Structure 1
Amino acid sequence: MKFICKKDNLKNALAKIDRLVLKQPNLPILGNVLIKAINGRIELYSTNLEIGASAHIGGIIENEGEVAISPRILAGFLANIKEEEITCVSNDFDLELKTLKHKIRIKGMDPKDFPIIPENPEGFYFKIKPEFFYQKLPIILISTAKNDTRQELNGICVKFFPEKIVFASTDSFRLAECVYFLNKEDIGVGYLEFAKNNPFIIIPFFTMAEISRVVDEEMLFSIDQGQIFISNSKFRMISRLIGGNYPEYEQILPKKYAIEVIIDKDGIMDALKMASLVTMMGAGEILIKSSKNDGQLIISSHSGEYGEENSNLEAKIKGDDFELNLNSRYLIEGLNALIGADLLKIKINKERSPITINRIIDGKEKEDETVSYIIMPIIKD
């Protein structure tokens, strides 16, 4: 195998897939990336057997072939050279990389031992624009459980409807839900039948987190035999789905609210960060209460060991005055992930009920109900 390519192209393609490579794999081949020069392009593959990924770049291919080598050494070489053009030549299982000033030989393994990553299935698919991943997915990722014994909570629930797809996640203390509306050009043949027979799937957190990290254009999703295939023109990922039933979270969502608060996002974020300074290293309890007559929201915290803090914020309050104890970390993480908002609407029903937070993105008072963050208050008897 011999090919010539641009350093930055190879570096960027490797960065998209190398996080799947296991550091101490049971199968040594899984500690490598597979590099192929084939069909006029250079392809890179990685897998941990649960998830597989590939990326491809252009280049000048003189001889086709493949090698399986360590991504750590390759990434280090690419990060330290200044030249833009690299010549890559395989020698048995090894790969030699050369520039005008530098040359390195990376020992490899038999590429035939590398697991086969299946091709995308034909037929049924749906497409999602990159704006969803930038503006809506962050709140879903924040709310997903990371190491729960209930495997389904370690994933993202995706519900299918003829005209929309609903994404939801929860760690039992908070919940996020986002709606993506479909156009006719967003769905392929078979989507409506699939949505009818498969009301939901559960995608692993890591899969969606990796997609959000590399997305730069519209992504195409397809599903086959318990696997999800996610791809665009230069990248694709294949992942196993999580089995089981997702909690019927809709049952806890309030149908109406007695209190609504509109507040500046930056202002409440600053106040929450100040309050968290004295609450159990930034992850403790804070008190939020309203003064409707003064048009103020009061955020305070108290610690017998560290002290106390109070902030008064201007707010538009509709309904009776209220008082809530909330987890500061959940609030800060959630509000920070509500991308693109200048104002927030906080909706409250009763002091023991979940509160819902929506972003306001048009400068008016109407909330964006396609992105919701729900958090449980701390109940004190």
Structure 2
Amino acid sequence: MPMTPAVADRLLPWYDRHRRDLPWRAPPGVTADPYRVWLSEIMLQQTTVPAAAPYFRAFTERWPTVRDLAESPLDDVLVAWAGLGYYARARNLHKCARVVAERHGGRFPDTEEALLELPGIGTYTAAAIASIAFDRVATVVDGNVERVVARLFAVEEPLPNVKPTLRRLAATLTPQRRPGDFAQAMMDLGATVCTPRKPRCMLCPLAEGCAAREAGTQEELPRRAAKADKPTRRGMAFWLLNPEGAVLLRRRAEDGLLGGMTEVPSTGWAAGPVPDEDAAMGAAPLPARWRRLPGMVRHTFSHFHLELGVMAARAGAGWQAADGFWVPVDRLGGEALPSVMRKVVRHALAHANDGDGA
């Protein structure tokens, strides 16, 4: 079984030589900025490093400090976040920035307990900020760390039920010295060496004493419980242009999926077939000569697949939907459109001029 001093003593020198160069990571010997650590950790939830990096750069250029972010309108934050997914993160990001600015004088608390009281910060993020930004002894466990620990200790119980066990075992490895560097070293090891498939055991500083490697099961761990198939929901979106060439959009409710984001109006999304044209008309934003566009928009959320048909029409002069607003097509890039709605826009622009009508 791995011993804490041995693991840290081997891993930290490896990290000093092989640490990843990430836009949010402080250079060696430089104290990490809690704001940048927090922002990166929120962005990296359910998102890969390559996907998050350009958003992180854009956010820190536009809002260099937590106060700058707190003073920005939520709509601006949602627009900047559009395309990154899991939009509740953006709303909590803005809410947290305001709490830090207004209640903590623009400084993040330096303990896990106090960090957990902030909006949108859970166990993992609180530990990451406390450890990386303030060098507190805290156990940071993400997917990479879970994989490393499962292999070091040859844990056979499958995810997700084994998560508490993996966290307990990870805590036995966390050193008193350089805990922030150790946390980042564990994440780097999982990302670059102890990878999900074909781990590079010959390069691993922890290969000696790794129980899974000794048993020859490293590629099998961590085990995962079988996932249920994702259901498919379907609906119909409505692409409506006015005489000036602007498209009708509306804002989704603050609560729930894609809360507060901008959308092309649509029917509800439900199991069953895509609504036929007659059934869809009851949800159309305006009475018009609607026609079904060819093809389908497909998108996958974390817990379901979505298929949307698209209908297009032109509104008469002066028509206005009760809960919508018009946006010129060439300004859609400035709206907080989530990825699925960007797909709807691209589909409509590609097909709306096929044949007569919109």
Same fold, TM exceeding 0.5?
no
Query: TM-score scaled by structure 2?
Result: 0.30
Give the number of the structure with larger relative contact order, counting CA–CA contacts within 8 Å between residues 6 or more apart.
2
Task: From the two aligned structures, give the one with the greater helix fraction.
Answer: 2
Task: From the two aligned structures, give the one with the greater strand fraction.
Answer: 1
